[in-house]
């Protein structure tokens, strides 16, 4: 999940000191978080290293734990001595201040493991975040992809509970900051999907989706005009409840940080009043990713991502409409605040070049660019494209799961820019 550390707009006053403070505190917190696990020797583990001569093998890489052991323990990284691991756990505490959140503290964690007794095959992933800030934003998110029955079944779970003062800017690709509308709400999400293996790398299944917003209040547009939320149909709560049908193809080498492979996920969602939904409506989400490893002598990767979110029928609640940063992992739109753009449909493209800075993989970098649009009709409307681009640093937190701390700076239109942090690659 992408965490925006600082988002700046033309009408907002900010201090570069604030930006630098949060940046430094995040890095220090990441190091301190790794110290905790390094001091305790890490978790008992059971992953076979394999060919240690490969550039992408753990023995050829270095992470923050190795750096700390080099400084404080000449015997080396305990993980290298053990040679095997059952669970790879990365935890990054964050502490800082931004104009949009006030003082904030939280934890982000990623755990990867194998459910197979031979500790091989498909890798399961659990991702969790917990944040609290002085503006009363409270967020708990846990997402998991867990394999079972010899990799024949995959359980995909997304559970969230948030109390989140938010800012929306109306509908469409041409919204402006003059239409900024402060909206407060509590939110509960429960998505559960079960997939069955059909053939190599291909899975099919279905599940249940619930989005429940309540205690919704708004302050109105800052220019005193009627907000799109009010025009659309203001409500104090909204419930979307329905089933999903899912197709998945996944040949990625690593779900946390892929060095190659292809990923395609299609999710059809149909919300029904019989299941407790306020209204009947349906959507489809198409998530496609491709990774090209550019050389056998490095881990440099060129990655492409397409995310399409279309309304097929009905009228979903305003807060359930497609918007920036509300994709499955909240990672679209680096360069813009969450919910900066919103509409009936969402078209999104992104490309990223990932490269090493140090030969041992401890520090890397990225260059990225993205385009998005929110047309009312994808067939008759010529989409207005909203660009953004940026660069970032990567710090290897866990070499066994290939998990990086990602710190990016993105620039969008209308002087929109900000710093974004993620534990694990954005896509």
**Cα 147 to the center of its chain, rounded Å:** 20
- The structural domain count of the chain equals 1
Which of helix, strand or coil describes residue 335? coil
Residue 55 pLDDT grade (very low, low, confident, very high; cuts 50, 70, 90): low
| Separation between Cα atoms, residue 320 and residue 222, nearest integer Å | 23
The reported pLDDT for the residue numbered 338 is: 87
Give pLDDT tens digits for 161-201.
999 888 899 999 999 888 899 999 999 999 999 999 999 99
Give yes or no for a contact between 396 and 56, defined as CB atoms under 8 angstroms apart: no
* 344: CB partners within 8 A, 6+ apart: 171, 311, 321, 322, 374, 375, 376, 377
Residue 135 pLDDT grade (very low, low, confident, very high; cuts 50, 70, 90): low
Q: Which of 412, 404, 410 is nearest to 354 (CA)?
A: 404
Q: Is 251 exposed, middle or buried (0-12, 13-18, 19+ CB in 10 A)?
A: middle
The reported pLDDT for the residue numbered 17 is: 34
The reported pLDDT for the residue numbered 165 is: 83
* Phi, psi for 25 (deg, rounded to 5): -65, -35
Residue 238: other Cβ atoms inside 10 A: 21
Which of helix, strand or coil describes residue 14? coil
* In the chain, % of residues over pLDDT 70: 81
| Separation between Cα atoms, residue 89 and residue 93, nearest integer Å | 13
The mean predicted confidence, pLDDT, of the chain is: 83
CATH number of the domain at 226, please. 2.40.160.50
| Sign, Cα dihedral of 325, 317, 192, 347 | negative
| Separation between Cα atoms, residue 344 and residue 378, nearest integer Å | 10
Helix-, strand-, coil-residue percentages of the chain, each rounded to 5: 15, 50, 40
Q: Which of 118, 117, 114 is nearest to 147 (CA)?
A: 114
**Residue 406 pLDDT greater than 90, yes or no:** yes
Question: Which residue range is the domain that position 351 belongs to?
Answer: 3-423
Q: Which of 84-98, 116-130, 271-285 shows the lowest mean pLDDT across its residues?
A: 84-98
| Separation between Cα atoms, residue 280 and residue 198, nearest integer Å | 31
Query: Which tokens hold the place of 214?
Result: 């309540």
**Residue 14 pLDDT greater than 50, yes or no:** no
Give pLDDT tens digits for 60-112.
789 888 888 788 765 555 544 444 467 888 888 876 554 455 577 888 899 99
The reported pLDDT for the residue numbered 294 is: 94
Bridge partners of residue 238, in order along the sequence: 213
The reported pLDDT for the residue numbered 21 is: 42
């Amino acid at each position: 999940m992408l965490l925006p550390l600082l988002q700046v707009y033309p009408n907002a006053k900010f201090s570069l000191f604030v930006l630098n403070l949060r940046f430094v505190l995040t890095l220090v917190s990441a190091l301190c978080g790794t110290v905790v696990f390094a001091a305790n020797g890490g978790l008992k583990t059971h992953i076979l290293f394999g060919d240690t001569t490969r550039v992408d093998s753990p023995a050829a890489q270095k992470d923050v734990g190795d750096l700390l052991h080099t400084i404080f323990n000449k015997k080396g990284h305990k993980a290298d001595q053990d040679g095997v691991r059952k669970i790879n756990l990365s935890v990054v505490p964050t502490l800082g201040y931004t104009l949009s959140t006030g003082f904030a503290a939280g934890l982000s964690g990623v755990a990867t493991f194998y459910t197979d007794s031979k500790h091989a095959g498909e890798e399961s992933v659990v991702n969790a975040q917990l944040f609290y800030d002085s503006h009363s934003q409270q967020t708990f998110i846990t997402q998991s992809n867990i394999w079972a029955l010899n990799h024949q079944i995959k359980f995909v779970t997304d559970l969230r509970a948030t109390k989140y003062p938010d800012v929306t800017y109306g509908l469409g690709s041409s919204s402006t900051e003059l239409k900024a509308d402060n909206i407060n709400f509590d939110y509960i999400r429960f998505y559960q999907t079960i997939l069955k293996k059909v053939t190599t790398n291909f899975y099919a299944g279905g599940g249940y989706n619930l989005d429940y917003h309540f205690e919704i209040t708004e302050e109105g547009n800052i220019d005193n005009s009627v907000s799109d939320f009010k025009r659309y149909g203001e409500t104090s709560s909204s419930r979307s409840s329905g089933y999903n049908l899912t197709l998945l193809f996944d040949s990625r080498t690593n779900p946390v940080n892929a060095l190659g492979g292809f990923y395609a996920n299609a999710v059809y969602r149909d919300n029904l009043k019989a299941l407790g939904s306020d209204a009947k409506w349906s959507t489809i989400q198409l998530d496609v990713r491709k990774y090209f490893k550019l050389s056998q002598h490095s881990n440099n990767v060129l990655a492409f991502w397409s995310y399409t979110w279309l309304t097929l029928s009905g009228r979903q609640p305003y807060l359930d409409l497609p918007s920036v940063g509300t994709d499955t992992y909240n990672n679209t739109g680096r360069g813009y605040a969450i919910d900066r753009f919103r509409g009936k449909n969402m078209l999104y493209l992104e490309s990223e070049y990932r490269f090493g800075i140090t030969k041992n993989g401890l520090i890397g970098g990225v260059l990225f660019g993205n385009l998005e649009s929110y047309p009312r009709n994808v067939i008759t409307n010529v989409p207005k494209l909203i660009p953004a681009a940026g660069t970032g640093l990567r710090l290897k937190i866990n070499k066994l799961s290939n998990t990086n701390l990602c710190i990016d700076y993105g620039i969008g239109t209308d002087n929109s820019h900000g710093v974004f942090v993620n534990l694990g690659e954005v896509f």
